[in-house]
Amino acid sequence: MLNLVNRYAHGFVAVPVILAAQERGLFELLESRGPLSEDAIRLSLDANGGPLRVALRLLRSLHWLSRDDEGRYAPAKAAAMRRHIPRELLELYRFPAGSPQLLSDAAQRYCEWTPLSRRRWGLDDERDADLIDGVLLIPLLFALRGQGLLEEASQPLLAPLPQPLRGALLDLFRAKGWIDGESDKPAWTEVGRHLVERMLVLGVTASYTPLLARLPQLLFGDPRAVFEHTAMDAETHLDRSLNVIASGFQHEKFFQDFDAAIQAIFDRQPFEQQPAYVADMGSGDGTLLRRIYRHVAEHTARGQVLDRYPLTMIGIDYNMEALEVAAANLRADGVPHRVVQGDVGDPQKLERDLQALGIADCENILHVRSFLDHDRPCFRPPSRNGWRPAGRFPTKACSSPTTVPPSPPPTPSKGCTNTWSAGHGCPAATAC
């Protein structure tokens, strides 16, 4: 099942790249003049070097392109699959993930496309068909989820949807083995229920729908416009709220490793020497903080005396949307908390900001860490025995039409650790 879900995610990303490349004439260029170097392709298509390199790497990983020992690209046999991809599928990227509007505005399209999906898009290779299915299914599943239509309730599955859309979707789900037989009240099979319960694993991919909708501009236009922020400094290339929620969902199994360490810390006595706060730098939607507080309250000695020795959770994130989600989740669980904007590369400023919030005893904070960092400072070694900060990559490097030089190699992890260790303690990390 995981392989299938991954193919859906791969297809959701790959198909708009394929169609953008096809529209620009990449495959025709290579068929008529190939093999060609990356530079020759870039000049011929007037493409942006950085995004083009990523696109070529993606197409090569799908075995649509080959590359010889001299770094020249040529089309592979699998590239013929592009003729089976309806270009109109790109219409689905107009809808934000979870938008109910998709179920009305794209209803006719789904009635046209679901029979093609059941016939595997005319392809012999199931895996290739799954890639196209990813474009069809990911927006659909999140739209249904957003309307609560994937839940098994007293009414029949998908009952609120009008015909013929409901019938088309039930036929598709039945063909995939997600719902049982021809009953008047179809129900999820074990496979279907597993997909519904775990579909947030596709959430990070779905959160980049706005970026994928603008791939032609990213590859062949002004990429800076793709990464513009709104007047309120919100990102426009992704749905950050969905990204944060889906990330927290996927991290849950890794957070289990924290339990033993938390148990040991909060069983120690005297309680006066235990942390008064737990801070998560990069807290996302607050999942880890909620888990830690729940474990302390329910399973440790400290949990029996929280009335006398309270514990406050501190959510720290660079992204304000993430902080809003974390605060809402912690508040809903009744967890004592504070949230503050922070940068993992600047712990000194974080300490000042915490003191401004009335947290003067920063030495009583237990710092925990999990997973991804964004916009981290880059440190480069001037010698084998020393380290010094060399500034950051340009904050808009990802929107630059050129590639970022690969050398000298950045070493952000050690530099970041040294920065924290200078009076702040090194945060515990689940993964890097």
DSSP for 345-403? T-HHHHHHHHHHTT---GGGEEEEE-S---S---EE-SSSS--EE--PPPTTGGG-SSP
Reported confidence tier of residue 343, pLDDT bands at 50, 70, 90: confident
Question: Of 350 and 427, which is predicted with more confidence?
Answer: 350
Residue 417: predicted pLDDT: 55
Residue 302: predicted pLDDT: 97
Q: What SS3 class is residue 274?
A: coil
Residue 118 has pLDDT above 60, yes or no: yes
Going along the chain from its start, the domains and CATH numbers come out as: 2-83 (1.10.10.10), 86-213 (no CATH), 250-376+415-429 (3.40.50.150)
What's the pLDDT tens digit per position in 411-432? 555 555 555 654 444 444 443 3
- Token look-up 């605060």 returns 327
Quote the mean pLDDT of the chain: 87
Q: How many residues does the chain have?
A: 432
Q: Is the peptide bond before 410 cis (omega within 30 degrees of 0)?
A: no
Asked if residue 400 lies in contact with residue 394, where contact means CB atoms within 8 angstroms, the answer is: yes
Residue 49: predicted pLDDT: 95
The pLDDT of 90-118, averaged and rounded, is 96
The pLDDT of 332-337, averaged and rounded, is 96
Q: What does the alpha-carbon distance between residue 269 and residue 280 come to, in Å, rounded to a whole number?
A: 23
Residue 147: predicted pLDDT: 94
Q: What does the alpha-carbon distance between residue 235 and residue 329 come to, in Å, rounded to a whole number?
A: 22
Residue 383 has pLDDT above 80, yes or no: no
Q: What does pTM read for this prediction?
A: 0.79
Query: In the numeric block, which tokens belong to residue 278?
Result: 């737990």
Reported confidence tier of residue 344, pLDDT bands at 50, 70, 90: confident
The pLDDT of 264-292, averaged and rounded, is 92
The pLDDT of 225-235, averaged and rounded, is 86
Residue 4 has pLDDT above 70, yes or no: yes
Count Cβ atoms within 10 A of the Cβ of residue 54 and give its class: 0-12 exposed, 13-18 middle, 19 or more buried: middle
Asked if residue 247 lies in contact with residue 206, where contact means CB atoms within 8 angstroms, the answer is: no
Residue 387 has pLDDT above 50, yes or no: no
Residue 394 has pLDDT above 90, yes or no: no
Q: Give percent above pLDDT 70 in the chain.
A: 84
Residue 369: predicted pLDDT: 80
Residue 424: predicted pLDDT: 43
Residue 377 has pLDDT above 70, yes or no: no
Residue 11 has pLDDT above 70, yes or no: yes
Residue 414: predicted pLDDT: 52
Reported confidence tier of residue 154, pLDDT bands at 50, 70, 90: low
The pLDDT of 196-213, averaged and rounded, is 95
Among the listed ranges 116-130, 177-191, 295-309, which one has the minimum average pLDDT value?
177-191
How is residue 96 annotated by DSSP?
P
Query: In the numeric block, which tokens belong to residue 367?
Result: 């710092």
Residue 370: predicted pLDDT: 73
End-to-end CA distance of the chain: 27
The pLDDT of 126-131, averaged and rounded, is 94
The pLDDT of 15-20, averaged and rounded, is 97
Residue 312 has pLDDT above 70, yes or no: yes
Q: What does the alpha-carbon distance between residue 54 and residue 206 come to, in Å, rounded to a whole number?
A: 19
Q: What SS3 class is residue 303?
A: helix
Residue 426: predicted pLDDT: 45
Reported as type and span, the H/E element at residue 31 is helix 26-33
